[in-house]
């Protein structure tokens, strides 16, 4: 049982993970409601998929902000970003469309950055000042 608790809640006392976790949480929490629903409606994404992605982005972002269940939240957010690359951004190449060329969307550059940030949290945990650290501290 302790192994499962460490797997889900365990975290190193990392200040850098705190920074990554908070910023990543804010980005996803901000997109988790109206932006996701509105964007998915325009793309004709099925309502069930829209609800699931919205839930993961909103509550996953909130989970990261407070540092509770950060590893499972990070894993869910990685999944959402991989789907976003496969279904939307991958066909537009790597780079963001800074020139706003009509008919060309943004590439997967930003998604990749978000995946890297979430992967950092998934590997090392929520870091200092997190609820997870109160539940299962390890690493000093």
Structural domain boundaries in the chain = 9-135
pLDDT digits (tens, 9 = 90+) for 11-35: 989 999 999 999 999 999 998 677 7
Cβ contact 126:132 at 8 Å: yes
pTM listed for this prediction: 0.89
User: Nearest CA to 65 among 113, 30, 111?
Assistant: 30
120: pLDDT strictly greater than 70: yes
Please give the mean pLDDT across all residues of the chain: 91
Euclidean distance between CA atoms 122 and 134, whole angstroms: 17
Q: With the CA atoms of 8, 29, 22 and 96 taken in that order, what torsion angle do they form, in degrees rounded to the nearest 10?
A: 110
Residue 45: band (very low, low, confident or very high) from pLDDT cuts 50, 70, 90? confident
* pLDDT at site 140: 52
């Amino acid at each position: 049982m302790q192994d499962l608790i460490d797997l889900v809640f365990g975290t190193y006392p990392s200040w850098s993970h705190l920074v990554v976790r908070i910023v990543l949480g804010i980005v996803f929490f901000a997109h988790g409601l109206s932006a996701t629903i509105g964007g998915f409606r325009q793309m004709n994404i099925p309502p069930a998929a829209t609800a699931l992605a919205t839930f993961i982005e909103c509550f996953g972002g909130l989970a990261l902000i407070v540092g509770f269940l950060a590893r499972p939240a990070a894993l869910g957010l990685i999944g959402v970003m991989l789907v976003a690359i496969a279904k939307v951004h991958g066909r537009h190449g790597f780079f963001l469309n800074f020139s706003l060329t009509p008919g060309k969307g943004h590439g997967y550059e930003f998604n990749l950055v978000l995946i890297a940030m979430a992967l950092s949290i998934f590997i090392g945990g929520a870091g200092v000042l997190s609820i997870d650290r109160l539940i299962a501290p390890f690493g000093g």
